[in-house]
Amino acid sequence: MTRDYTVFEEVKATKKDILNCRFSSWYPKLQEHSFEAEILGPLPSQFVEYLGAESIRLPLEDKVELDVTSDNEYSDWEDEEDSAEESDPIQGFVDLHEQVNEVVKKYRAVAPKLNWSAPKDSCWIMLNKTMKCQSASDVYLMLNASDHITHDLDFPFEDTHDEESDPEFDYELVLRKWRDINPALEFRVFVRNGEVVGKSQRDLNYYDYLEKLIGDNKLDDTINSFVKKTVVPVIENRSFIVDVYVPKPFSKVYVVDINPFTRITDSILYTWSELLNDKEDKTRLITETNIGRFKTKAYSENQVPLDVIQASSDPNSLAQLAREWQINEKK
């Protein structure tokens, strides 16, 4: 009796490949095929350090909204109320804060990201459960709460095979004009050596109408033609992954993001062995037969109650929270 097995193949990008996937690297070339955005940078070191801090501290201008009402609960603002300038985190990046406010005012609402990653994993912390930010504090909260952003800060060149030291680069804050999009119509396209080798539905929910769209070949043909004629010629990497959005009437394709062709990027409905060795014309979808495999809520492992976040910076509050949990469990 024999067993089928697949030899593990490494998929490593170069550090230049990673740099080529920065928003500021590809957006100017594909701006007419993407959503409106402002790139703020280079970011001051104080802001980068602020994003990398262990605790979440927001501007004092939002103190009323953020203070905890209970007398015995911890508040970041209580320790230095008489020294607002020292306690307000924006004092280290006042100019950037003003720029963020201006862009938010211009677009009314924005979706933030750094050079590579968007904080999709921290949508749970927002009242609207989306990346829609309507204030500078919304932007900072999403960025601070995101593991994706932490990866950009700490491990931007993870899983690259270059032996030389990491290249220097500037961090940038991207603020895209907020648009309500239909998640069912966002797709991830895998390009290997200049050719489309696979396409996958991005949102892991079942949409019955997608099967008909893909079955008619119209959507597949539109995406393939766009990527081949518009995206591949302007991206320096021969292999990359592009996220696209194709709204009704399915005649125009928008570029959402460019990602490196490496295992760090989610292959969604494919295995990396398939992407490295095969080529598929049809877009893979969540169907009635495979829906059970993908029922886990996206980024659910990142979701932590707000009271845990607030208590984690103060031992007394954390102990009080533990006691309250024990009391509730006995009820």
- Say if residue 162 is in the same domain as residue 202: no
| Rounded (5°) CA angle 173-174-180 | 140
DSSP label at residue 241: E
Q: Report the domain count for the chain.
A: 3
| Three-state DSSP state, 244 | strand
Please tell me whether the peptide bond between 42 and the residue prior to it is cis, using omega within 30 degrees of 0.
Answer: yes
Instruction: Yes or no: say if 76 and 57 are a contact pair by the CB < 8 Å rule.
Output: yes
Using the structure block, give the residue that is written with the tokens 């009271």.
307
pLDDT at 70 (0 to 100): 43
The domain boundary, picked from 176, 198, 227, lies at: 176
- Say if residue 148 is in the same domain as residue 44: yes
d(CA 33, CA 231): 10
pLDDT at 71 (0 to 100): 46
- Say if residue 129 is in the same domain as residue 159: yes
d(CA 114, CA 72): 36
CATH of the domain at 207: 3.30.470.20
pLDDT at 237 (0 to 100): 97
- Say if residue 40 is in the same domain as residue 172: yes
- Say if residue 206 is in the same domain as residue 142: no
pLDDT at 104 (0 to 100): 98
pLDDT at 18 (0 to 100): 97
- Say if residue 214 is in the same domain as residue 236: yes
State the DSSP string of 146-213.
Answer: -HHHHHHHH-TTTTB---SPPPP----EEEEEP----GGGEEEEEEETTEEEEEEESS-S--HHHHHH
pLDDT at 272 (0 to 100): 94
Low-confidence ranges of the chain (pLDDT < 50): 1, 64-85, 301
d(CA 177, CA 132): 9
| Three-state DSSP state, 26 | helix
Instruction: Yes or no: say if 265 and 190 are a contact pair by the CB < 8 Å rule.
Output: no
- Say if residue 44 is in the same domain as residue 170: yes
Distance of CA 102 to the CA centre of its chain: 23
d(CA 273, CA 205): 24
Q: Which two tokens mark 313?
A: 């910076």
- Say if residue 144 is in the same domain as residue 166: yes
pLDDT at 9 (0 to 100): 76
Q: Is residue 26 part of a domain?
A: no
pLDDT at 73 (0 to 100): 46
**In angstroms, what CA-CA distances link 18 with 62, 156, 238?**
36, 8, 12
136-144 and 94-107 helices cross at what angle (nearest 10)? 110
End-to-end C-alpha distance for the chain, whole angstroms: 56
| Three-state DSSP state, 248 | coil
d(CA 9, CA 110): 39
Domain around 40: 36-58+91-176
- Say if residue 98 is in the same domain as residue 210: no
pLDDT per position as a tens digit, 74-100: 444 444 444 444 578 899 999 999 999
pLDDT at 297 (0 to 100): 52
pLDDT at 316 (0 to 100): 59
- Say if residue 231 is in the same domain as residue 274: yes
